[in-house]
Amino acid sequence: MPYLRDTAIVLKKEPFREQDRRYVMYGREHGLLTAVARGSSLKSSKQAGHLEPFSIIEVMIAKGSAFDKLAVARAQGPSRPPDVRLASFAILGAFHDLVVSLTRPGISDPQIFDLLHELRTVCFSFPSDPSPERSRLLFAAATLKLLDLTGFGPPIEVEEDDLSHTALLLSFARKSPLADVIRVTATTDLLSATASWIEDALRHTPLTQAPRGPLTIRALLERN
């Protein structure tokens, strides 16, 4: 039976049969992974504690004909800080769902793993819950980076009469590390305006269009 080894971030978990769970992960080397952990819903399960969403784990997966089985899972450090903020769960949960929607098994991109890791690190470093405006901007910036990586990033086109702080913050959100995005000095109105602009651009991005740029994840999907 062939085995697959990788370092992965747990995106989500769901019930599977009576005593098992199905885990969806994103691996640095293998991209989107789905595997069933036998007996992981039992209180006696030794692996379940390593497999909570947002955890970074070393995995060994046994490839199967019906479904893949999680043979070994070992957490790299604590799954999450004991005082994690509510905003962290909201931002990470929504972003993980987006990654599951926009990626496919068998096509990997280490930069997506790094983006997931980066967002996790930023969210778990909150000393207190950020304002709703900062949370919106952080999620919008991470989403924009994800669409860029998958070949669907909308062009940042600002009207000539809008060469303002909003235009500067838009460019900053796209190009800067997420840790800088969450700490940017700006008014509440400016944060909201920037997040709204990105959300509107993403809302009008057709995910079925041909991607810009060579050999993107979408281009690989269309070849197969």
The pTM score is 0.83
pLDDT band (50, 70, 90) for residue 44: low
pLDDT at position 159 is 55
pLDDT at position 116 is 97
Instruction: Tell me: pLDDT of 217 over 80.
Output: no
- Tell me: the pLDDT tens digits for 162-196? 556 777 787 788 889 999 999 888 888 888 888 88
Give the mean model confidence (pLDDT) for residues 105-127.
92
How many angstroms separate the CA atoms of 152 and 205, rounded? Answer: 7
H-run or E-run covering 22: strand 20-27
H-run or E-run covering 36: strand 31-37
Give the mean model confidence (pLDDT) for residues 106-117.
93
How many angstroms separate the CA atoms of 40 and 63, rounded? Answer: 18
User: How many CB atoms within 10 Å of residue 203?
Assistant: 8
- Tell me: the pLDDT tens digits for 13-40? 888 878 888 999 999 999 999 999 887 7
Q: Which residue did the predictor score with more confidence, 14 or 207? A: 14
Place of tokens 């997966």: 61
pLDDT at position 28 is 95
Contact at 8 Å (CB) between 75 and 16? Answer: no
